[in-house]
Amino acid sequence: MRDSGQPDQDRILRSMELHSVEEEVDVTPAIMHKVRQIHQKNQRGHSGNRKKTFIISMLTGILILSSISVYASQYLIQIKNKEGEVILSTIKPWKYSESEYNAKRIKETEEALSKRLKPGEQAVYYIKDLHMTPLVKEQPLNYFYMLTKHSNYQELAKEIEDKGAPVLQEPDYVPEGYRFDFGQIQIRNTPVWNTPEYQILVDELKAQAEKSDEEQGLFYKIVPWFDIASTGMEYRKGDNRIKIVAFAREKGSKAGVPTHQAVKIKVKGKEMILSASPSSPSRSLTWLSDSEEVLYIITDDPKDPLSKDEFAKIAAGLVSE
């Protein structure tokens, strides 16, 4: 007669194989309960074959416990050669996409640099990491500028004057409830990609990385900067913000305003474009200085949108007489 307990044993084994356990858990009570069930069932159906059934049940329990121990240890298995050296092992699955991992490493690096650099300093840095993607390896260097965040307009005005940044006056009007939050000056990175100066820095930092035993390391150098990119400030009311930025630009080139909806308005004789953002619900008011060397942009907060008149009133205090 066929052993009626065997299909149950196979079914239990198969069900245990189909489930992965990511953390170590105590499964002994549940497994022993299953073993006792199988043993009791076999006792009822085959009292004359108790010894054989007991052996089968014990083997089943051992096999199940062995399978669970593998799953509970997250497939941590090692294979060694005759000399006892590990030549093959399992590893934890990779939990990041390429772009996520790159962004993670850059964020970690810049957080570390922010603790080492002084306000106003710029560093060029190289990340030693075999997991970084080929795209990052093709452009191995990044720049990090330690911004100086000014908590009042007077400090910002002083840095504008000291560094020759685009002039950004304090507006005469902002909507009720908004207060100056911070101001800052941003720079342009130099040297640029694929220049001899850039390649010199690549070779220097890569050489330092190769001499290091670190598998993952940060290598950087403080470098000077020469050009100002913009002056910016933000006004805040609770979680709502109004952003005002003055971008330095070369005279004679055309400036574009990406938008799907826009109107032209005039403030103190100056023509401006009020536009909707193609990528967010916010709106912006954009215009050029008389010299055409500064591009001004005021951006509202979609959670507290500005009216057309409010945009015009803010801009009026920024336009030179």
Interval 286-310: pLDDT, tens: 999 999 999 999 999 999 999 999 9
3-state class percentages of the chain: helix first, strand second, coil last, to nearest 5: 35, 25, 40
CA distance 4 to 139: 67
* Of 7-11, 91-95, 286-290, the least confident: 7-11
Residue 287: strand pairing partners: 296
- pLDDT tens track for 117-134: 999 999 999 999 888 877
3-state secondary structure of 115: coil
Q: Which long-range contacts (CB under 8 A, 24 or more apart) does 111-118 make?
A: 112/218, 113/144, 113/146, 113/218, 113/220, 114/144, 114/146, 117/144, 117/146, 117/222, 118/146
Share of the chain above pLDDT 70, in %: 76
Out of 17-31, 60-74, 121-135, which region has the weakest mean confidence (pLDDT)? 17-31
Residue 75: which pLDDT band, with cuts at 50, 70 and 90? low
Residue 45 pLDDT exceeds 50: yes
Averaged pLDDT, 75-103: 82
Higher pLDDT: 236 or 255? It is 236
What would the two tokens of residue 49 be? 């074959």
At residue 23 the predicted structure's pLDDT band, cuts being 50, 70 and 90, is: very low
**What is the pLDDT, as a whole number, of residue 137?**
74
Local confidence band at 72 (pLDDT 50, 70, 90 cut-offs): very low
Query: The whole model's pTM is what?
Result: 0.65
User: Computed over its alpha carbons, how large is the radius of gyration of the chain?
Assistant: 34
- Residue 22 pLDDT more than 60? no
Rounded to an integer, what distance in angstroms lies between the CA atom of residue 247 and that of residue 165?
Answer: 9
Contact 309, 266 (CB under 8 A): no
What's the gap between Cα 89 and its chain centre? 30
User: What pLDDT is attached to residue 10?
Assistant: 52
Place of tokens 């990041």: 96
pLDDT (0 to 100) of residue 5: 45
Residue 237, amino acid: K
Helix (H) or strand (E) holding 262: strand 262-267
pLDDT averaged over the chain? 82
Whether the predicted pLDDT of 151 surpasses 80: yes
Confidence of residue 70 (pLDDT cuts 50, 70, 90): very low
Relative orientation angle of helices 28-45 and 50-72, to the nearest 10 degrees: 160
pLDDT digits (tens, 9 = 90+) for 190-232: 777 778 988 999 999 999 999 998 888 999 999 999 899 999 9
Residue-level pLDDT at 132:
83
- Partners of 187 in beta bridges: 228
